[in-house]
Amino acid sequence: MFPSATDAPAARAFARSWARRASVRRHGHDVAAEDDGYDPSLPDYPIEMVPFRDHDAFRQASPDQVQRVLTLAWLVYNQRTITAEERIANPAFALVKDGRLPGLDGLDMHQAVLQSLIDEHFHTLMHLTAMHATCRRRGLAAPPVFPDAITYRSLCHSLAGLDDQADRDLAVFAYAVVAEISVNAYLDLIAKNDRIQPAHTRVAAMHNHDEFMHASLLIDVAAAAHAAMNDRHRRRFVELLPQALTAFAAHDFSAWNTVLTLAGIPDADRIVRETAEARRGTALLRDYSGLRRLAVQLDILNDLDFDFGPAA
């Protein structure tokens, strides 16, 4: 019913195509720092992705203040992408590499996982380079420090409630499965936007190119691991997936107060508070079709405490 570790098709395809397909093999990280096409009048980040763009107080901001908000928002986007790679995806890939999850032996699987780790570290380098290039272009000394993303805070909260190391490993794995299978829609918001800095769309497009393959790989990895879990670990995995799904679906307002304050916009607390209140009970738009397909494949869709919405 499930692919074994040695015949998982996505793992085999991933491992064998990586040398000619992966961004790290085809590009240098300095593409993120290239000034080709840079236009200081273009925004660094899409205004339509700013949740309070229509708030009365924000609409009083000057054009320079709005530009600073969009520059800082781009830095947040990169920082949170790095967090997802370094604190969620990479620890899970390391669990597979170290043999701490069941059913994931085999040369194709291990090659694909090690190649994915290389991809993710390259993505971190690429996004870090993009942040510092933006600071150079916009006259910032260094990227500001922003609060941790809600996804990582949620993972830490889940880990705090687990004492058994195997359960903690499953938590890291569950969050990584959700992250890697759902990230494409998030990256697409930048990668397909032709109204912002061209270098920024290139960075997101290169990253997304790799993540499409990662999503297919993680579906195979999750299926093989789930098939090899004992009953208790399967129940724990099913319990953890909705926690990860809820975190990735949530609106994250934690950095916006810092962004508004650094941009010199008054009433930052009120703008963020009222925007958060207006969006309470709504979900951030993401594509969960891959995660729904995984849940159907594992026959756990009805066991997950999460509303995927109507089936496509």
What average pLDDT does the segment 28-51 reach? 87
pLDDT at 147: 96
The mean-pLDDT minimum among 3-7, 8-12, 75-79, 157-161 falls in 3-7
What average pLDDT does the segment 277-283 reach? 85
What average pLDDT does the segment 274-283 reach? 88
- Predicted TM-score (pTM) above 0.85: yes
SS3 per-residue string spanning the chain: CCCCCCCCHHHHHHHHHHHHHCHHHHCCHHHHHCCCCCCCCCCCCCHHHCCCCCCCCHHHCCHHHHHHHHHHHHHHHHHHHHHHHHHHHHHHHHHHHCCCCCCCCCHHHHHHHHHHHHHHHHHHHHHHHHHHHHHHHHCCCCCCCCCCCHHHHHHHHHHHCCCCHHHHHHHHHHHHHHHHHHHHHHHHHHHCCCCCCHHHHHHHHHHHHHHHHHHHHHHHHHHHHHHHCCHHHHHHHHHHHHHHHHHHHCCCCCCHHHHHHHCCCCCHHHHHHHHHHHCCCCCCCCCCHHHHHHHHHCCCHHHCCCCCCCCC
Residue 5 has pLDDT above 80, yes or no: no
pLDDT at 223: 95
pLDDT band at residue 308, thresholds of 50, 70 and 90?
confident
pLDDT band at residue 285, thresholds of 50, 70 and 90?
low
Q: What is the pLDDT of residues 113-162, one digit of tens each?
A: 999 999 999 999 999 999 999 999 999 999 999 999 999 999 999 999 99
Domains of the chain plus CATH, in order, are 25-303 (1.10.620.20)
pLDDT band at residue 29, thresholds of 50, 70 and 90?
low
What average pLDDT does the segment 281-289 reach? 74
Residue 28 has pLDDT above 70, yes or no: no
